[in-house]
Chain A
Amino acid sequence: MCLAIPARIVELEGDKAVVDAMGNRWKAKTTLLPEAKLGDLVLIHAGFAISLVDEEEAKETWRLIAEINDFNQTQNKVSG
């Protein structure tokens, strides 16, 4: 339930946003974060932006998620 993902606001009209994380785009609302602007990195939880995010931290999360994806997709062969 605490799951939240950093994403960049790529479209914003009023409090209706489209956000992008690692190439995936989806709708979110910025009602709870009125100071959010186009281009900002935000933390998305259950369809709402709840906080601004530091750029380096966001990259670290995306890197970890990508690594998990890579791991899940590779053939895991036990050697030796």
Chain B
Amino acid sequence: MRDTLHEILDTKKMLERIYKAQTLMDAACKALGRQINIMEVCGTHTVAIFRNGIRSILPGRLKLLSGPGCPVCVTDQGYIDIVLQLADRDDCLIATYGDMIRVPGKGGSLETKQSSANVKVVLSSEDALQLAKDNPDKIVVFVAVGFETTAPATAVVVKEAAKETIDNFCILSGHKLVVPAMRALISEKNHNIDGFLCPGHVSVIIGYRSYAEIVERFSRPCVVAGFEPMQIIEGLGEICRQLAAGKAELKSVYTAVVTEQGNVTAQKIIAECFEPVDGYWRGLGEIEKSTLQLKDKYSRFDALKRFDITETQTEDTSGCRCGEVLCGLIEPQECALFGQSCTPQEPIGPCMVSSEGACAAWFKYGPERRRKQ
């Protein structure tokens, strides 16, 4: 049974908060006198913004750019082809999070190979380790993709595998770091970004202090928000408040779970198992110290070393413009393939495959009506 009065008061309060945020946005647009571009870094934010129709309440001159915060989307083709190569081996079992299985590569995707029973979808890195324990005659390769939110989970099982000597377990690390990508975007690729809406759960791990460099060195507001619509709206409002005042500050509106220092236990375990190395991101190219590689102490669990594989970057000639989408340089519908040869049913690029990809979100939720200024 719903409490109607509670609902009415709730709604009134919510509308007041939205109106307050809109006032801040309008003030920023007026103060700057031009289009304002805010990059929402995280793929989950991209989807939440669409699902909640947030663009419909934004002023016409406030543009949201989708960023590279979709780990599947920024995983380069070379990595995907290695996974597919390993999936073909009779002595391997591939353990992967679900969102990777449809990414197309040479000779298909993991999904098309799933029928050969070499590919298992797991919800947790622990499931991947258990798979290794249950299948001693196979080598389990864990497709370790994700940002700092997910890297600690991989580190935990690598440590467990070492402790319990589970030698038939290894990981193909595709873990990437968010701040180096933000730094690369703002310093080279995209000078249009006025502020960043920072990822919620990555920030749980790294702490909002991690964005200090972006604020101080590049004078861009960095505000961490959660994924509920009010969080996003108020996060954007806060960025606009700063822009109107000519300031760049570090803030978090996701006070429920994000602290300044983050989850120190998780940070320590990442540091114990991994070191940041230069890595290649789809769309962004090579970024210094942006991907995680297992330290020498744990290198026997590194699939690249186990199978003696060298990572190569393959040039994508399909006409896919995921790279530009990921940098916020174009919107998905500007890609000639969008909705034509590239659809969620038959994706060409990972931005259409991933549940958090900008192209998939644009396709699913369609064009937004903009609030008239």
Q: What B residues does A28 contact at CB under 8 A?
A: 124
A-B contacts, 14 of them at CB < 8 A, read A2-B42, A2-B43, A4-B149, A29-B124, A32-B153, A43-B201, A47-B127, A48-B124, A50-B257, A51-B257, A51-B258, A51-B263, A53-B256, A58-B256
Q: How far apart sit A4 and B147, CA to CA, in the bound complex (Å)?
A: 14
Contact with B along A25-45 (1 / 0, CB 8 A): 000110111100000000101
Q: Which residues of A contact B (CB under 8 A)?
A: 1-4, 28-29, 31-34, 43, 45-48, 50-54, 57-58, 60-61, 64
B interface residue count range (under 10 / 10 to 19 / 20 to 34 / 35 or more)? 35 or more
Whether B149 contacts A50 by the Cβ 8 Å rule is yes
Q: Decide: A32 and B44 in contact? CB cutoff 8 A.
A: no
Please give me the residue from chain B that is nearest to A26 by CB atom: B123
Chain A nearest CB: distance from B26 CB in Å?
27
Shortest Cβ distance from A27 into chain B, in angstroms?
8
Is B71 a contact partner of A1 (Cβ separation < 8 A)? yes
- Whether the pair A2, B44 counts as a contact (CB closer than 8 A) is yes
Closest 4 CB pairs of A and B: A47-B124, A57-B256, A2-B44, A51-B257
CB nearest to B127 among chain A residues:
A47
- Decide yes or no whether B332 CB sits under 8 A from chain A: no
Within 8 A of A (CB), among B254-300: 255-258, 263, 265-266, 269
Q: Report the Cα distance A46→B233, complex, angstroms.
A: 27
Let me know if A32 and B263 touch, CB within 8 A. yes
**Complex Cα spacing A54 to B226, Å:** 13
B72 engages A43 (CB within 8 Å): no
> Is there contact, CB below 8 Å, between A46 and B263?
no
Complex CA gap A28/B123 in Å reads 11
Given contacts A2-B43, A2-B199, A51-B257, contact A34 B123 (CB under 8 A): no
B256 adjacent to A46 (CB under 8 Å): no
A34 → chain B, closest Cβ, in Å?
6
Indicate which residue in B44, B202, B265, B269 contacts A3 across the interface (CB closer than 8 Å).
B44
Q: In the bound complex, what is the Cα–Cα distance between A58 and B257 (angstroms)?
A: 10
* A50 surroundings in chain B (CB, below 8 A): 149, 152, 201, 204-205, 257, 263, 266
**Known interface pairs A29-B126, A50-B204; A2-B269 also in contact (CB < 8 Å):** no
Question: With A and B bound together, what is the CA distance between A53 and B226 in angstroms?
Answer: 12
* CB-CB under 8 A for A31 and B71, given A1-B356, A2-B42, A2-B202: no
* Complex CA–CA separation, A31 to B269 (angstroms): 10
Give the residue among A33, A48, A58 with the most B Cβ atoms within 10 A.
A48
Contacts of B266 in A (CB 8 A): 32, 50
